[in-house]
């Protein structure tokens, strides 16, 4: 048998085995539990988001009661 054909056949068999193991491993893996916050973010009247910080659990919002004067800023 031609060595090139034998090499291509072996590589194809190795690729097929690797893909079968990969898909078998993914199929058996449990989905990660979704982290839920205690409650949804709801702003009360007069509150604004003054800062956002990325944490290991997700995004943390800093809320404040400061009102920005729209007239004092240039657009």
pLDDT at 17: 97
pLDDT at 10: 96
In a domain, 74, yes or no: no
Tens-place pLDDT, residues 6-64 = 999 999 999 999 999 999 988 887 777 666 656 666 777 777 777 788 888 777 777 77
DSSP 1: -
In a domain, 73, yes or no: no
pLDDT at 50: 75
What distance in Å separates the CA atoms of residue 48 and residue 50, rounded to the nearest whole number? Answer: 6
pLDDT surpassing 70 at residue 75: no
In a domain, 30, yes or no: yes
Domain that holds residue 15: 3-68
In a domain, 75, yes or no: no
pLDDT at 23: 93
């Amino acid at each position: 048998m031609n060595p090139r054909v034998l090499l291509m056949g072996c590589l194809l068999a190795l690729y097929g085995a690797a893909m079968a193991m990969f898909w078998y491993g993914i199929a058996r893996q449990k989905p990660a539990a979704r982290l839920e916050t205690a409650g949804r973010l709801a702003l009360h009247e007069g509150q604004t988001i003054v800062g956002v910080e990325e944490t290991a659990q997700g995004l943390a919002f800093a809320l404040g009661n400061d009102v920005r004067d729209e007239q004092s800023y240039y657009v």
